[in-house]
Each structure stands twice: as C-alpha cells, then as structure tokens.
A and B are shown apart, each in its own frame.
Chain A
Amino acid sequence: MSKELIRLKDVTMTFDDVTVLKDINIYFNDKEFLTLLGPSGCGKTTMLRIIGGFQTPTTGDVFFDGERINDVPPYRRQVNTVFQKYALFPHLNVYENVAFGLRIPRETTYENGKTEKVKLSRDEIDSRVREMLEVVSLKGFERRSIASLSGGQQQRVAIARALVNRPKVLLLDEPLGALDMRLRKDMQQELKRIQQQMGITFINVTHDQEEALAMSDTVVVMNEGVIQQIGTPEDIYNEPKNAFVADFIGESNIVDGIMRADRVVEIFNRRFACLDGGFEKDEPVDVVIRPEDVDIVSEAEGQLRGTVTSVTFKGVHYDTIVDFYGFKWLIQTTDYCPVGSRIGIRIDPDGFHVMKKSKYSGLYGDYSSYSEEYDEINDPTLLDVEEEGAGDEE
C-alpha cells in the first residue's frame, strides 16, 4: 500500500506578501485516503491547488512519482479535481459532462520516446462513461441537464467526471460542504466506498473534523499555513500534538499543568496519575481532558470538586459545564446534575493527555465563554456537525 506518490518539499506560497503556506514538507502515499483539515484560511485549499497544478509554489518543489512537476500544466497531470461547487458544465448534460475529459485527445508517450495525440473511440468513451455513472449510482441520468439535478447528484457527476479519466490521484475541495447534513453522512460512506473500489489516492480538503475522522486513513491538521500534525484519525484525536489540534478535533478541556515526574501530572495543585512520560521534571505542560473521559461522582468521592453552572440536554448525554476553582470544564455525561449542585469528578489515568507547551497554549480549552462560543458559530451547518459529532463520541 504505502508507496510514496506525491511529495511537497520546502513549499512556500505567498500572495501579495501574505504567506499562505510556510515550508511545507509532506508526502502522500498511493491508494491512501488523506484529508487536509483546518479552519478556513489555513492554506489547505492552496496546497490542493498546487498539487492540481493551478498554482505554482513561490519556492519549493512538487514531485509526482519522483519527478519534479512544478511546471507541468494541469492538463498534463495524472490528477483530477472535484471542485468545491462542482464546476459542472451547465451547457452539457450528465453524459457529456462525464465524457468531457475522454473526448480530449491525450498526448501519449510511447516506450520508444515518440509522442502522439490519441483520441478514444466512441465505444470506449461510451463504456467508460456508463461504467463510471454506475459507480456513482447515476445510471439512467445520462440525458438529464445539470440544472435539473439535486446537490448530491451534481456531486456524483463531479466525481464521475473526474474519475472517468482514471487519475492516480483525486483531489476533492470541500466536496461535501454544500450538502445538507444527512446527505453529507451518506456521501462520506459513498466516497470511502468509491475510493476503495477505484483503489487510488484521494486527497480531501475540509474544515469539518468529524468528516475528516470518519473517512480518512491519514489526517493532516493545518493552521496558519503550517502543518500541525499528521496521523491516523485515532492518533490525532487521542494524542493531539498541541492545544490547537486538541481544540480543533473534538471537544477538549485544556488546562495548565506541571509534570512532576513521569506519569504524574499536577493540575489545580493536585497530582494525578497519567500515562504520559518523557518530560523534564517540573516542566509546565498543557493537559487535555476530553469531556467524555470525566466521571461525575458525589462531592465527597471526587478528586476535584466544583459547581454546575449550566446543563444542556443533547439527546444521548448532557453537556454539563462545571466550575472548578474558576476554570470551567465541559463534561459530557448521561447523569443529570441540576445547575448549582456541588459535584465531584474522577479521571482515570488514560483520561489525561499531556502536551508540550506551544504557541497555542492558553488560547483554547476554557469553557467559561461556552454559550457565546456557540453563538459565534453562526453557520448552522457547522453547528449541526459539531453537535452531531459530539453525540457520536459517546
């Protein structure tokens, strides 16, 4: 599986003095489903466009199969793209949209070094288009015009149009962004299935962490033009490298702590057993405690004691905000604790994740402005996702 296919080496991209990508070094393996995840403006789409050939990096090199392709135009790359708003051709019907790439004569280089423009036969085009429409479950839609399709159907046409060219890599630019929540769930499954069926590399760009976790073999978390962490979804969730990643992936309570010894972390002047080690003695650290890793117990039994300040019913669980010594935590629990009650909590050693201090320390993880934070997320689809995602974790 893991043969290296694409490599970005020291890639930096600047637009009008604004640096969008900073010294990116990354490689992509063959047949992998990889997601570039990050908030808008983090440079993920730019990276995709550099791979697609729509942009040339300011400095640094792009390699494909070991060959430098900085100056290879998009139409000569074995890469196809599914654009954000699909960019289907409105004047062509479904069939012609899918057949579009096949009808362009391709330059083929033979073993003896000769190149020739080769046109596919009508029959070959027809069979490949029909095959691909079947893959994306759009059989029978051949003659339909693009305007008559729903968002999900257009999405499938866009995927078919790209895949019919048999690229080695499919680039997807926020492919599910325009779909409603339910459709998005279905398409996540669908995309994964198609990727496995085609056996090629998918590079997906999204700002939706739940989507990234659900579909990907590898997730690349980016912020401010810098790669924050590369890993499997489990790694990213369980072992975030810094406060940004911890906060961006799922819900996290991030508190200041001190490593008193290997496997001993101190927060709120109390020592807790944990599984982390390898820090210097008394090194200040960030400690992540996931809301679902906290057990509510009676005040007397608790390792920490606090007051419930807000409770929100979420279906499967309650989002309970608890004030511990002035620091507000989010706890997700099936036990109902009324506002104002005093409670205690217990955290198992594997509930702690200790991270080195970074530039993001102290920026995230406090839920004292919990309600406002939700208000700020005025994009309803985004809100849906986060609530859904939180529900899924239980």
Chain B
Amino acid sequence: MKKNRFGSRFLIGLCFLFLYLPIFLLIFFSFNKGDSSAVWKGFSLRWYAELFRNRLVLESLATTLLVSLLATAIATVAGTFAAIGIYSLTKKWRDPVLVVNDLPMMNADIVTGVSLLLLFVAFFRGWGAIAAWLNSWQSLIQFPTRLTLGLGTLLIAHVSFNIPYVILNVAPRLRQMDANLVEAAQDLGCTWIQAFFKVILPEIKPGIVSGALIAFTMSVDDFVISYFTAGSATQTLSMTIYSMTKKRVTPVVNAVSTLIFLAVLILLIINNIREARQDKLAAKRASFEPVRVDPRAERFRAWLGTPRGKLARRVAAAALCVVFVSTTVFLTAFTTSRPVVNVCSWGEYIDEDLIDEFEAETGIRVNYQTAESNEALYSLLSNGGADYDVVVPSDYMISQLIEEGRLEELDYSQIPNFEKIDDRFKNLPYDPENKYTVPYTWGTVGIIYNETMVDEEIDSWAALYDSKYAGQVLLINNSRDAFGIALKYLGYSVNTTDAGEITQAYELVRDAYERGVFQGKVMDEVFQTMEGGNAAFATYYAGDYLSMLENNEDLRFVVPKEGSNWFVDAMCVLKDAPNYDNAMKWINFIASTDSNLRNMDYIWYASPNKEALEMYPEWYEEQYGEALDPEIYEIMAAPQEVLDRCEMYVCLPKATRALYNDLWIKLGL
C-alpha cells in the first residue's frame, strides 16, 4: 500500500512537473539579462521595460482588449437572449438547436477562420454595388464603396465564435430554473421585460458571468480565427507574439507571456474565492440559521435605497458608461486614427523608436504589422484582404510581385534619400530599372559553426555533408536554401533551371541525410540550438549570427569559398495603396542615413545606405565608447569580394518550383 501511494504521488508530481515546468521556465527566462532563451546571463527586468516601450505589443494589446471586451459584451447579450429563445422552444426543437450550437465549438478554428474570411470577402465583393446604389439615391450618408478586413470583421468573427460559449453556459441555468418563476412574476404585475430583469436575470446570472468569462478568455486567446479575419491593418496580441517568434522567441515574448499567465492566475484566484464564498453562504442558507449580514453592507444597501443613494447609483452607472464608451472611442481612435501609413515588415526588423520619431515628425500614424515570411506575405496579398501601403519583401518575391503587377511605381522625387543608396544596390535584377524599390537591408547566408566542436578551419559547404559531423548539422528548413546551398557546393548557379543539376543537388542532400549527418530541419529553433551548443553547424543569415554571438562566444560565421546566396530586402508600395504619399514619406524617412545607422545597429543587418554603411564603425564607437570589432563589421557588411562569390535568388519558373517541391517532399525529412 505504502509503496503504491508513493508511486501515485510520484506520478502526480510528474504530471504537474510536465504541466508547469515549461511555464516556470518561461517566467524564469523572462528575467534573463541576455537575449537568449537558452543561456542565463543574470537577473534583469529589461524585457519588461522593453515590453512597455514596444509599441507593436502595446497596440496589439489595445486591439485585443478592445475586441475581446466588445465581443464579450455583444456575445453575452446575444447569447443570453438566444439561450432564452432556445429554452422556450418545444423539446422537439430545443435539442437539435443545442446540438447545432455545440458544433461551432467543436469545429476546428481554422475552418471557422477560413469560412468567415470567405464570407467577408464575398460580402465585400457584393458591397460595392450596394453602396453605389445607396449613395445614388440619397446624399445624407456616403457609404464607402470599398470595404476591407479590419477591426470590424475581427469583432464580428469574435462575436460569432463567442456566442455558443455563452449559450452553453446560460442554457443549463435556465433548465434548472423553476418554469413557473416567470409566470409568478407576471402574475405579480411584471411585463415580460420586467420579469426578465427582476427574475430571470438574477437566476441565470452565474451562467452569464461564467459564459462571459469564458468568451473573454477565448477572445483574448484566439489566434487562428483572428489571423484570417483581422486583415492587414489590425493585429491582435496573439498575432504579434506569433510574428515575434518567427525569428526567435525574444525574451519580450517571455515577458508578455508571463504577464498574461499572471493575469489569468489572478482572475482564477478571484473567481475561486468568489465561488468559495458563495458556497459558504449557500450552505449557511440551507442550514436553517439566519444569515448574518455585515451591518456595514446592510447600512450601505439601505443607503442605496434612499434618494441620495439612488442618485449615487445613477451617477456611478453613468460614470461607468462614460468610462466604457470613452475607452472604446479612445482605443478605436488609437488604432484607427488618420492620416496613416500601413507598413508590413518582418518581426524584430526595425528600431521602433524610428516609428515614434516618424509619427512625431509628420503626424502620420504608422500601422506597423509583421508577416512571417515572403510566402505568408504573398498569400496575404493574393487573397485580397490586405491593404498595406508599404511592404518589405525579399528580392525574388519582389520580382514575382512586379511580374504580377502588384506593385506601384515609386515617385522618387519624393524620396531624395534614394540618392544615398549605394549604387551596388540599385538596378538589381529583380528591379532592373529601379522603378519600384528602395533597398532596406542586405546580407549574406553562410555557415554558422561552433568553434569548440570542430578541429579544422571551415571554409566550404562540404562540412555540412561530412559524415565526420554526423548528427551535428542543422539543415535549413526550406527547399530553396537547402538545395541552393547544395547547388552552390556543386558549382552550379542557385538559379539554375536544369533539372539534372537540381537532381544532383537533391542526391547530395539525400545521401548526407541517409548517412545521418543532419540533426534535423530547423528554422527558428536554430537560435536556441546553436546558442545552447547543441549542434555544430547551421546555415543562416549573417545578421542573425551576430545576435547569436552575443549569447555564445564560440560561434563563428563564414561565407564559404564556393559562394553563397546574398539577398536584398527592399521597400515597395502596393498597387492602389490607399496612402501613397504617406508611403513615400515613410520610405524616405527610413532611407535616411540616421535611420539606416540605427536600424543597422538594432537588427545587425547591413544597410544599403552608402554613408551609413561606411560611417557605422565610427558611429558605433561614438555610441558605445568602444571600437567595433572589424571582423564583426565584415560579417555584417560583407566586403565586395565576398559578394562577388554570392548570387541573388531570382524567381524560378513554375516547372522548376514544382521540381523543388517534389524533391523536397521526396526527401521526406
């Protein structure tokens, strides 16, 4: 018996450990001084400080709260009335309706999200005609003819997935309620509405409260449905966190998550205390003892009944309304005020102080959103919901967008800072006449390796396929880069369309895979794995190497002698951008030498601004009082002879893309 008990305790302990260890780890690392999620560098609150300066997080938090509160309020009212309606159906209808109500909750979020998106897009398509017709016979209200996804659609989506939860919580309360209560109230002089407020509402209040709480939690928590329905200019907290983890789990995410966890914990504790109190009270009532009422509470209640108390009650209610409405208005204004420019970039890809400065300087609000990858951006653009002004895609994606006519030519007369862009980064193959783009950053792909885990000089891609390093190599998780590197190693162009060459590259990777060289395919995990010293080799971007270096001094970076890929991310403006002129101002602002210096310093990617690129070591010394390691500078801004070895990706023809895809699947890693 004793042994048994120990065993069960041990198992319970294990369960809790499994459940809570990740959370504790997250809380622990939110206080990390360093910016790694794998290496502890001492206690610090810097990520919390950063969190509250991070406007992307704050804005999306505001959006989340606004949408969740409004959606909860609307869904609670609608769901409560729906539950009452369902409850008053005959049994023949009630049960099927309740089953129908359950379905959306069991439905996969992704299905809900996609179907709502389809609905909205279909509606928008029809709306143009409706609005034109409405505007044609009256001039009092001018309806906009073009609608886009945004706060409105997000709110509608949240309301629609919240309602079933409210119904689910309210319906059992109604079932428990004595069916004669409403009749009794009517009998005593109430109209139905009065009976509702005086009898039904107090009876089902616990159900409504728990329904609202669940709805609110679901709303705050939701990612998938929001992702499909928020459109381009609106971003919820969960979407922001997701885009932040795109590159790596920054400790800011740890800090946000810790705060969310604490908020939920506090809510839970409050709720439990409330319930315990109610149980106690109920127990007391059920035992025939008279309930002892706090005399202060009694006096307060009596005072509320007096004319002065009633006035106070009304004032309090009015004040609450005012607070709620003004918060709503404020939050709405905060998220949608004009003039604006909508920018979509990558996570952790800008010194955010620049956004504030731009806003202060121009009075234009920057709606700064992030996408996860070029492909994600492309799908956002192609399903039509997005209304960004400025996007920052990479070279090959730019050429594809130009080809498809999705970009607007830039008005370079409004972008005097374009002059400062190094000629090397003008008229590149993706935009040969430079009509559409202003470069944002550039960089190289190379081998990141852990010096302590190799005993030779690494200067060739060969190391990545060497049995000597079996289980120590991280393969980059996208076909273009994985095969591109192999092509380069074999001496071919990364842009080859020769199926034989590509197949050779495939066989090279395949062979290494079969020999057990690769530890796994990674994208974002590369940071943790390399910083933690858990792999010897990875293929990644120079800029990201530099941030890994901060957490693990043993890491080295090299652009192999066979050559590599180099890339440019450039700012472009989408066709029919709603805020074209503001977009020009933004691009000009970002192209300035000062902006480039600060971005370069912040994200460790090289600047295309000639002045900034040259000035950076000097500027660094001024800022930090120490000289910049020239080796680091060289990695950040690869010298021309390195670039000469490298090739830029171009958009591959469809057949080649399909071949890449097939081979990648065949690799089946």
Contacts and interface: CB of A to CB of B under 8 A. Distances in A.
Interface residues of A, number: 30
Nearest to B286: A147
Contact of B286 (A54, A84, A101, A148): A148
Nearest to A74: B186
Contact of B288 (A75, A148, A162): A148
Given A54-B183, A84-B180, A85-B180, A104 B188 contact: yes
B259 to A, nearest CB: 37
B186 A90 contact: no
B561 interface: no
- Of the listed residues B183, B189, B203, B288, the one surrounded by the most CB atoms of chain A closer than 10 A to its CB is B189
Interface in B85-112: none
Contacts of A89: 181, 184-185, 199, 202
B191 interface: yes
Contacts of A91: 202-203
A143 B290 CA distance: 8
Contact of B188 (A101, A143, A144, A147): A101
A289 to B, nearest CB: 43
A74 B180 contact: no
B36 to A, nearest CB: 56
A80 B181 contact: no
Contacts of B282: 147
Q: Is the interface of B mostly helix, strand, loop or mixed?
A: helix
A1 B315 CA distance: 54
A57 interface: no
Contacts of A162: 187-188
A144 B290 contact: yes
A87 interface: yes
B596 to A, nearest CB: 66
A52 B187 contact: yes
Given A91-B203, A106-B189, A165-B188, A145 B180 contact: no
Contacts of A87: 178, 180-181, 183-184
Contacts of A364: none
A165 B186 CA distance: 13
A84 B180 CA distance: 9
A101 B198 CA distance: 11
B53 to A, nearest CB: 48
Interface string B285-299: 111111101000000
A148 B188 CA distance: 23
B184 A75 contact: no
B463 interface: no
Interface string A176-211: 000000000000000000000000000000000000
B186 A75 contact: yes
Contacts of A84: 180
A81 interface: yes
24 contacts: A52-B183, A52-B187, A53-B187, A54-B183, A54-B186, A74-B183, A75-B186, A79-B187, A81-B183, A83-B183, A85-B178, A88-B184, A89-B185, A89-B199, A89-B202, A91-B202, A106-B189, A143-B291, A147-B282, A147-B286, A148-B285, A148-B288, A148-B289, A148-B291
Given A90-B203, A147-B282, 15 more contacts: A73-B186, A75-B187, A75-B188, A75-B189, A83-B180, A83-B184, A91-B202, A91-B203, A100-B198, A104-B189, A143-B291, A144-B290, A147-B286, A148-B287, A165-B188
Leading 9 A-B pairs by shortest Cβ distance? A101-B188, A87-B180, A87-B184, A104-B189, A91-B202, A145-B285, A74-B186, A83-B180, A147-B285
